[in-house]
Chains A and B, each alone.
Chain A
Amino acid sequence: MITLEIDGKRVEAEKGSTILNAAQQVGIQIPYFCYHKEMEPYGGCRLCMVEVTENGFTRLQPSCAYPVKNDIIVKTSTERLIKGRKILAELLLARCPNIDSVINLADSLGVKKTRFLQTDSDCVLCGLCVRVCRNVAKVGAIDFVGRGRNRRPATPFDMPSDDCIGCGSCAYVCPTGAMKMEYENVLRWRKLPGPLRKCRYMRMGFISHKVCANDFQCWNCEVDQRMEDLSTSHPVFMLREARAKERERFGGFEMLSDRLYDEGHIWVKRINGTVRIGIDDFTRQIVGVINDIKLPSVNSFIRQGDPLCIISGNEKTLHMYAPLEGKIVDINPDIIDNPSLISMAPHRRGWILMVEPSDIVQASKELLSGRSATEWMTHESRKFYDFVRENTEMELSPERPIPPDFARTLEPDVWNKIDQTFFMVRRKRRVKLHSIGQAYPTPKKDSKSS
């Protein structure tokens, strides 16, 4: 717990919460427009500014975003703040003179009329609709268009968006009523044949399959009512927990939810009919900073189990094997120049090559994804730490990253064992199959053998 002072009161707040949260706890009201308790702070309306005194310096900070710290002194209603908020309210009133929520807010700050040039807008540009659509629903059907005074939230080209899933969260969070659900999309869906008439909860990703039997009149729908009862606010916010895990650690190694993994510690990402390939965090942590890489040439054809690349770092080398069959269409030019980039960000800027797979569907079936991938990684991690305990005198644990010079300290035979246990999965199989007389195993048979 963190103790701070707000308006002369000593307040205890949880670590990681904001000044606004702490103030609300003790009943101190701070006005705001762009804050929503279930979204990341935005800091756009500037109404929630407070005076923060920290290490002897006093500065104005947005309370919706500023984290609580021990022994800071916060003042929420000094003369400077009140005067500033009043002028801000006048400015908002000048922008939206006919919007009730703006008039009410101004009224609560003691502002009845504005001195400034008035326009007639119904949007205060708090950005809630754009943020909920993009960051919470993960749809991005609306975004800001233009800049400065001309900025406004809009669908692409101001046409009904194909991306819109009709969840209605934008209209739900809008504080001024500017954002309205477009019925054109609903009308379009009504024209669809039965099985394609997906329920909005199916579009949001809550339920795997539900066809609307109610002609998209959600207010008459029992399922809709039940789902809304489950959630204390708009149901879209229930998605946040499930989707927060874009990148997570399993057994101490980072994995991304949009990647497929191969048992030879290679990730694969599908991009428009091609796949991008790179090494995973496991390899990165074990090898350390990579300072050399050898690669096949562009346009060459690789089969599953063929050598894909040879990476070296910390005076050790490691062969990686191709997880699928196809033609190499591109190599990341940056890593040729600077192989260290692979170890910097193996999942993103340090990708290695792009392949046009012979059979992308089959290949993705063979790779690990979702639950199977995370379970596999957890298993590999356990195996690895057991291995280190047995074969070396080092004390490693999944809680801490592997030291950067780990590979350097290993004896060659230990390193070879690591190579064989964790990275030669694909090759082993091929050698085995090769020995029973099959020169080039088809991917299908390979998968059956596992």
Chain B
Amino acid sequence: MKIQNIWDLNKLEEKGIRSLAPKRPKISIGLSTCGVSLGADNIFEKMNREKEKHALKISIGQTGCSGFCDLEPMAIVRMPGKPPLLYTQMTVKKIKQMIQDIKRKKITQEGLLCKIGDPALPRRPDPLLNEIPDYQEASPFKDQYRLLLGNCGVIDPLSVSEYVAMGGYSALYKAFYQMSPGEVVEEVIRSGLRGRGGAWFPTGIKWDMARKTTSEEKFVICNADEGDPGAYKDRTIMEGNPFKLFEGIVLAGYAIGSHLGLIYLREEYPHTYQFLNKAIDIAKRYGLLGRNVLGSNFNFTLKVIRGGGSYVCGEETALMDSLEGEVGDPRLRPPFPIEKGLWEQPTIVNNVETLANIPLIIEHGGEWYAGIGTEKAKGTKIFSVIGQVQQPGLYEVPLGTNLEDVIFKMAGGSLNGGQIKAVQVGSPFGSFLPREKLDISLDPETLRDMGSMIGSGVIVVLDQETCLVDILLHTLSFFVEESCGKCAPCREGVFQMKEIMTAIYEGRATMKDLTDLIDLGEMIKDFALCALGGGAPLIILNGIKDFRKDFEAHITTGKCSWSS
């Protein structure tokens, strides 16, 4: 069925509501990469078999990941007349018990996390339900502002109708039938949205420049080469709500006048690759991609291209080289991609998270969006809090939220109740902040002023037990392995830094080596060709400043007191 007009869209919305508030009980299992690796595929299969064997009057569906992988496999139970209930850490046994309970119209208590309240859905008052916390009040969702992740793990990611029922595609409809491409760009400029991939360049300005180029051929590239170790926000969006991303990409295409979008997906996400291709096929069937999108005269093709396993290819110019079938070496600029990008044509490269923000901006207006966040950084940002922390996961908060609040209030502080030693914001480039520097606002400007960067929003928490020299050496090894080898400062310099760090770690170094490290670091920061090379020495330079004790301990005693 192709969606041609507003009535088709309304019909689809009704269908989505029926599927979100079904007449017969429905259990949805989280089937994204994390769920599957914790056995959700097994549960899903067993349930289907059970259903067939006993001819159960239960439908079985799937959802994506909500960003808290350790709570997977999750299940959402939708019983008629009751709000959806979210269960965590399911097993086959628990699910069997749940099916028994559903038959008896009882609410299973084991593993129940919260209810996903929606006042629009019809329901009878139920005293039992009052005791179950609401989605917004239950940890770990508490205090978050889940604009992008709200539907992830709640709706069926491959169901267009459920996405439409959650307000999807109204932005695209509005853009096609009520706005000119220039107005779309203006709205994005007004919103103050900035690129979420790490460079924080104003998206609207990039689009405006691309729109004003006269070339017939323009490209929209969605950068899904989520290479930063510790980041998985893009995967969660792609697997939890792919149509939102598609809507954002089509909007970008409409705004700049491009008919071809490419998603460059990292090689390490094979599951996501299959999943996105499936989603694109579905979107084509509904007429949301391809010829005459949403019944307009706008055509748009979207493709997923797999990378080859190289971190540099996340850098936009190297990414374009890779898309052209070349070795992923960063290019010199100027010329910038908006002048001469892919195949020498104007190209915009945007991160998954950036593009997923676009439908919200178009739907609710740039001014609404600009009301969230700080003066210079608007909107929400997904932070991936990992390491030695109670509740690791994705936390979506407005920019400018206090870092301590995120770590202690939301993520529950350090894992074993120990002292926090250091926190790295913007891994792998951002520097490690000591405990006393954590009372800061999370926005690009604050971190830049501290000599660090916010990057793509990975927050690594380390407790007192960890040896910082070891962590820094590990990160440097990552940079050395992933250097493309084009420019000398990164290829030779970071390698030599790693050699010195190894000597320090093994206790072979002298204090003079520290000055060598600083000299090298300062040079690489200035001289390297791309952001990977130029960013690599930051952690060392700031590490020496803030954690000199660790370095000195290693140099003088050959180890630090806390590492065994």
CB distance from B504 to the nearest CB of A (A): 14
CB contact under 8 A between A43 and B332, given known A116-B496, A148-B483: yes
Q: Which of A76-121 contact B (CB under 8 A)?
A: 80, 83-84, 87-88, 91-92, 94-95, 115-117
Cβ-defined contact, A117 with B499, below 8 A: yes
Q: Does A251 contact B (CB under 8 A)?
A: no
Q: Mark B313-354, 1 if CB is under 8 A from A, else 0.
A: 000000000000001000010100000000100000000000
Q: Does B528 contact A (CB under 8 A)?
A: yes
CA of A359 to CA of B74 in the docked complex: distance in angstroms?
Answer: 62
Size bin of chain B's contact surface: 35 or more
Cβ-defined contact, A341 with B334, below 8 A: no
Question: Which A residues are closer than 8 A to B by beta carbons?
Answer: 41-47, 49, 60, 62, 65-67, 80, 83-84, 87-88, 91-92, 94-95, 115-117, 124-125, 127, 144, 146-151, 284, 291, 334, 337-341, 343-345, 348-349
Given A45-B488, A47-B488, 10 additional A-B pairs, CB 8 A? A46-B487, A46-B489, A49-B527, A88-B527, A94-B492, A147-B483, A151-B485, A337-B284, A344-B218, A344-B260
CB contact under 8 A between A341 and B529, given known A87-B523, A151-B485: no
CA of A91 to CA of B290 in the docked complex: distance in angstroms?
Answer: 52
Cβ-defined contact, A84 with B499, below 8 A: no
Cβ-defined contact, A148 with B216, below 8 A: no
Residues in chain A near residue B491, CB distance under 8 A: 125, 148-149, 151
CB distance from A99 to the nearest CB of B (A): 14
CB contact under 8 A between A94 and B332, given known A148-B482, A149-B483, A343-B216: no
A344 interface neighbour in B217, B290, B332, B516, Cβ under 8 Å: B217
Cβ-defined contact, B332 with A338, below 8 A: no
B259 interface neighbour in A88, A284, A344, Cβ under 8 Å: A344
Cβ-defined contact, A60 with B527, below 8 A: yes
Cβ-defined contact, B297 with A291, below 8 A: yes
B487 interface neighbour in A44, A84, A340, Cβ under 8 Å: A44
CB distance from A349 to the nearest CB of B (A): 7
Cβ-defined contact, A340 with B492, below 8 A: no
Cβ-defined contact, B493 with A91, below 8 A: yes
Cβ-defined contact, B529 with A83, below 8 A: no
Cβ-defined contact, B489 with A88, below 8 A: yes
Chain A residue with minimal CB distance to B516?
Answer: A115
Residues in chain A near residue B217, CB distance under 8 A: 344-345
CA of A62 to CA of B488 in the docked complex: distance in angstroms?
Answer: 13
A125 interface neighbour in B260, B300, B327, B488, Cβ under 8 Å: B488
CB distance from A165 to the nearest CB of B (A): 22
Chain A residue with minimal CB distance to B290?
Answer: A337
The 4 closest A-B pairs by CB, nearest first: A151-B485, A91-B492, A338-B301, A148-B483
CB contact under 8 A between A148 and B332, given known A46-B487, A84-B523, A338-B259: no
CA of A49 to CA of B523 in the docked complex: distance in angstroms?
Answer: 11
CB contact under 8 A between A341 and B259, given known A46-B489, A88-B488, A149-B483: yes
17 sampled A-B residue pairs with Cβ under 8 A: A43-B529, A44-B486, A44-B529, A46-B528, A47-B488, A62-B529, A91-B496, A92-B492, A147-B327, A148-B482, A148-B491, A291-B291, A337-B284, A338-B291, A338-B301, A341-B259, A344-B260
CA of A124 to CA of B526 in the docked complex: distance in angstroms?
Answer: 20
Residues in chain A near residue B489, CB distance under 8 A: 46, 88, 91
CB contact under 8 A between A84 and B332, given known A125-B488, A337-B301, A345-B217: no
CB distance from B140 to the nearest CB of A (A): 38
Q: Does B472 contact A (CB under 8 A)?
A: no
Cβ-defined contact, A339 with B332, below 8 A: no
Residues in chain A near residue B361, CB distance under 8 A: none
Q: Which of B384-429 contact A (CB under 8 A)?
A: none
Cβ-defined contact, A84 with B485, below 8 A: no
Q: Does B495 contact A (CB under 8 A)?
A: yes
How many A-B contacts if CB must be within 8 Å?
129
Cβ-defined contact, A148 with B484, below 8 A: yes
Q: Which of B486-511 contact A (CB under 8 A)?
A: 486-489, 491-493, 495-496, 499
Residues in chain A near residue B519, CB distance under 8 A: 83, 87
CB distance from A157 to the nearest CB of B (A): 17
Cβ-defined contact, B527 with A339, below 8 A: no
Residues in chain A near residue B495, CB distance under 8 A: 148-149
CA of A151 to CA of B481 in the docked complex: distance in angstroms?
Answer: 11
Cβ-defined contact, A338 with B488, below 8 A: no
A341 interface neighbour in B260, B499, B516, B520, Cβ under 8 Å: B260
Question: Which B residues are closer than 8 A to A by beta carbons?
Answer: 216-218, 259-260, 284, 289-291, 297, 299-301, 310, 327, 332, 334, 343, 480-489, 491-493, 495-496, 499, 516, 519-520, 522-523, 526-529
Chain A residue with minimal CB distance to B486?
Answer: A44
Cβ-defined contact, A338 with B290, below 8 A: yes
Cβ-defined contact, A147 with B484, below 8 A: yes
Residues in chain A near residue B480, CB distance under 8 A: 148-149
Residues in chain B near residue A339, CB distance under 8 A: 291, 299
Chain A residue with minimal CB distance to B284?
Answer: A337
CB distance from B191 to the nearest CB of A (A): 25
Residues in chain B near residue A148, CB distance under 8 A: 480-485, 491, 495
Chain A residue with minimal CB distance to B258?
Answer: A344
CB distance from B123 to the nearest CB of A (A): 43
Residues in chain A near residue B492, CB distance under 8 A: 91-92, 94-95, 149
CB distance from B509 to the nearest CB of A (A): 12
A116 interface neighbour in B290, B486, B487, B499, Cβ under 8 Å: B499
A348 interface neighbour in B284, B343, B481, B485, Cβ under 8 Å: B343
Cβ-defined contact, A344 with B216, below 8 A: yes
CB distance from A312 to the nearest CB of B (A): 12
Cβ-defined contact, B301 with A341, below 8 A: yes
CB distance from B527 to the nearest CB of A (A): 5
Chain A residue with minimal CB distance to B526?
Answer: A60
B523 interface neighbour in A45, A88, A146, Cβ under 8 Å: A88
CA of A291 to CA of B296 in the docked complex: distance in angstroms?
Answer: 11
Residues in chain B near residue A124, CB distance under 8 A: 488
Chain B residue with minimal CB distance to A350?
Answer: B217
Chain A residue with minimal CB distance to B215?
Answer: A344
Chain A residue with minimal CB distance to B328?
Answer: A147
Residues in chain B near residue A65, CB distance under 8 A: 332
CA of A291 to CA of B332 in the docked complex: distance in angstroms?
Answer: 36
A46 interface neighbour in B284, B482, B529, Cβ under 8 Å: B529
Cβ-defined contact, A147 with B290, below 8 A: no
Chain A residue with minimal CB distance to B489?
Answer: A46
Q: Give the one of B481, B486, B496 with max A CB within 10 A.
A: B486
CA of A251 to CA of B523 in the docked complex: distance in angstroms?
Answer: 51
CA of A321 to CA of B493 in the docked complex: distance in angstroms?
Answer: 60
Residues in chain B near residue A95, CB distance under 8 A: 492
Q: Give the one of A44, A338, A340 with max B CB within 10 A.
A: A338
Q: Give the one of B491, B493, B526, B527 with max A CB within 10 A.
A: B527
A43 interface neighbour in B218, B481, B487, B523, Cβ under 8 Å: B487
Cβ-defined contact, A46 with B488, below 8 A: yes
Residues in chain A near residue B484, CB distance under 8 A: 147-148, 151
Chain A residue with minimal CB distance to B503?
Answer: A117
Residues in chain B near residue A46, CB distance under 8 A: 487-489, 527-529
CB distance from B487 to the nearest CB of A (A): 5
CA of A270 to CA of B299 in the docked complex: distance in angstroms?
Answer: 29
CA of A324 to CA of B327 in the docked complex: distance in angstroms?
Answer: 37
Cβ-defined contact, B301 with A84, below 8 A: no
CB distance from B345 to the nearest CB of A (A): 8
Residues in chain A near residue B529, CB distance under 8 A: 43-44, 46, 62
Cβ-defined contact, A62 with B526, below 8 A: no
Cβ-defined contact, A144 with B327, below 8 A: yes
CA of A84 to CA of B488 in the docked complex: distance in angstroms?
Answer: 12
Chain B residue with minimal CB distance to A288?
Answer: B216
Cβ-defined contact, A84 with B526, below 8 A: yes
Residues in chain B near residue A80, CB distance under 8 A: 526
CA of A349 to CA of B284 in the docked complex: distance in angstroms?
Answer: 20
CA of A67 to CA of B336 in the docked complex: distance in angstroms?
Answer: 13
Residues in chain B near residue A348, CB distance under 8 A: 343
CB distance from B408 to the nearest CB of A (A): 38
CB distance from A122 to the nearest CB of B (A): 15
